[in-house]
Homo-oligomer: A and B are copies of this chain.
Amino acid sequence: MKEKPWAGRFKQGVNKKFEQFSESISFDYRLARYEVQVGIAHIEMLSKKRIISKKDARKIVQGLKKIEQEIKAGRFQFKPELEDVHMNIEARLFELIGESAGKLHIARSRNDLVATDVRLWLKDELKIVQGRLKSIVQTLLEKAEKQIGIVMPGFTHTRFAQPVLLSHWLLAYAQMLIRDYQRFAQLLKSADLCPLGSGALAGSNYPLDRNLVAKKLGFSGITENSLDAVSDRDFLIEFASVSAILMMHLSRLSEELIGLSGEAYRFFELPESLCTGSSIMPNKKNPDSAELIRGKAGRVFGDLIALLVMMKGTPLAYNRDFQEDKPAVFDCADTVKNCLEIMELIVKGLKPNKREMEKACEQGYILATDLADYLVKKGMGFRQAHQVVGRLVRYCEENGKKFEELKLEEFRKMSKLFGREVYKLFSLRASVEAKDVPGGTATLQVKRQIKKIKLILKK
């Protein structure tokens, strides 16, 4: 079978440049093992439904299993002139078992076939991604538990804002990644339908048992409309969009790790084994691992756009444009999996620098909000209290003083409500523990948060 499968209708052969341009085997070879699985399930069903003979079925299944072994062993020869994964495997089957191979493609089309293959692929990828997400959340959790005593400045607008527990900061990222996990889980559910039997676009002329095939392949159901089924790429776009959000989260964590491990902050030390030096500057220890993850966010956003644009304005049902789905989603999956793996290594190796974090908290009048709330609790309206403390900050700045260095009279010049007990406020620990509401940074609340996440992970 050197000829194209559709050569009968054509007078001319295929232009060689076009053959190269349109081949997909250089990337869809990744689907080979799913292609074989689908072939086996399909043939077994055809045989059961007596659409082909048991003998033919046995021969074909044996051939496919041989091919499966060749693929696993890396011995299978993919040939560009055979266009795609489907034709590569069919051609090999002809070589192995002869003319019976011609029955493999009864009651199916490359349109429903590739849709089935890629869904199986996605399901496997989703499980890997979910596993890595779980693992990194677990790591964040362990860090948060172990380091629960450390206080760091919390930021808004990249400015010191209020003190928080380092654990609380770690868990903020755990929360993001849990949401990602749940989105991937949801996608796994919604993508879990088998399109095989949709034919090229209209269904099949044979009395297929689609549910049987779906079951054999591990799908939880079948698709409902053949025109839609062969042209639906929603699950791939959703994979890219869910991945884009995840990469956005990782870009944020990367940004913080890069910044806060820098010479100015020194809040963290990154594991040396995940840094590189410079080819010219002997002093450098660069956070390349985090930088690469941050940079790869763009790559996944690009994959998402590629997919959306590819589909935009295309009519029903299958169009060849759709072949471009695979380079984008393969790239997306690889990027996401690799970034998660490396980010987990970073988090694992991350050493917090308690002293630097606490030293930083002495800057930026980080307890000002606690002072305002103090006044409120003494009866002042919040808006007024805010003004009073604002003036106090300005006064301190102009006089180069910290709050705790002010005399009581200086406080009382701003408001008569200030009393001696105000000095008790000037403790990072006290400030943190006062945030004792659900979701707040008080130790108890953070521990509660850890427990909840553990419950989610157990599911």
Residue of B nearest to A90 (CB): B383
Task: Give chain B residues whose Cβ lies under 8 Å from the Cβ of A163.
Answer: 202
A-B contact pairs, 22 of them (CB 8 A): A7-B390, A8-B394, A9-B277, A15-B345, A99-B381, A108-B280, A157-B291, A172-B227, A173-B228, A206-B437, A224-B449, A234-B245, A251-B313, A263-B364, A282-B393, A291-B320, A294-B321, A297-B310, A297-B312, A302-B302, A302-B305, A313-B314
Q: Does A188 contact B (CB under 8 A)?
A: no
Task: Give chain B residues whose Cβ lies under 8 Å from the Cβ of A299.
Answer: 306, 310, 324, 327-328
Q: Does A404 contact B (CB under 8 A)?
A: no
Task: Give chain B residues whose Cβ lies under 8 Å from the Cβ of A364.
Answer: 263, 283
Bound complex: CA A110 to CA B284 (Å): 13
Known A109-B278, A204-B440, A295-B310: A273·B317 in contact at CB below 8 Å = no
In this complex, how many residues of chain A approach chain B with their Cβ under 8 Å: the count is 196
**Chain B: minimal CB distance from A442 (Å):** 7
Bound complex: CA A99 to CA B251 (Å): 41
**Chain B: minimal CB distance from A357 (Å):** 11
Q: Does A279 contact B (CB under 8 A)?
A: yes
Interface locus among A68-76, A121-129, A192-200: A192-200
Q: Does A141 contact B (CB under 8 A)?
A: no
Task: Give chain B residues whose Cβ lies under 8 Å from the Cβ of A176.
Answer: 228, 232, 234
Bound complex: CA A280 to CA B204 (Å): 11
**Which residue, of A171, A203, A248, has the highest number of chain B Cβ atoms within 10 A?**
A203
Q: Does A452 contact B (CB under 8 A)?
A: yes
Q: Does A388 contact B (CB under 8 A)?
A: yes
Task: Give chain B residues whose Cβ lies under 8 Å from the Cβ of A13.
Answer: 273
Chain A window 333-356, contacts with chain B (Cβ cutoff 8 Å), 1 for yes, 0 for no = 000001001100100000000000
Closest 8 CB pairs of A and B: A8-B390, A203-B440, A6-B277, A102-B381, A295-B321, A298-B309, A302-B306, A203-B435
Q: Does A229 contact B (CB under 8 A)?
A: yes
Judge whether B22 and A382 touch: CB under 8 Å.
no
**Chain B: minimal CB distance from A362 (Å):** 10
Judge whether B271 and A12 touch: CB under 8 Å.
yes
Judge whether A17 and B341 touch: CB under 8 Å.
yes
Bound complex: CA A109 to CA B162 (Å): 13
Interface locus among A28-36, A130-138, A365-373: A365-373
Judge whether B103 and A382 touch: CB under 8 Å.
yes
Contact of A156 among B160, B284, B380 (CB under 8 A): B284
Q: Does A427 contact B (CB under 8 A)?
A: no
Q: Does A215 contact B (CB under 8 A)?
A: no
Task: Give chain B residues whose Cβ lies under 8 Å from the Cβ of A222.
Answer: 438-439
**Chain B: minimal CB distance from A417 (Å):** 14
Judge whether A205 and B157 touch: CB under 8 Å.
no
Judge whether B203 and A437 touch: CB under 8 Å.
yes
Judge whether A169 and B227 touch: CB under 8 Å.
yes
Judge whether B320 and A286 touch: CB under 8 Å.
yes
Bound complex: CA A227 to CA B174 (Å): 11
Bound complex: CA A266 to CA B435 (Å): 29
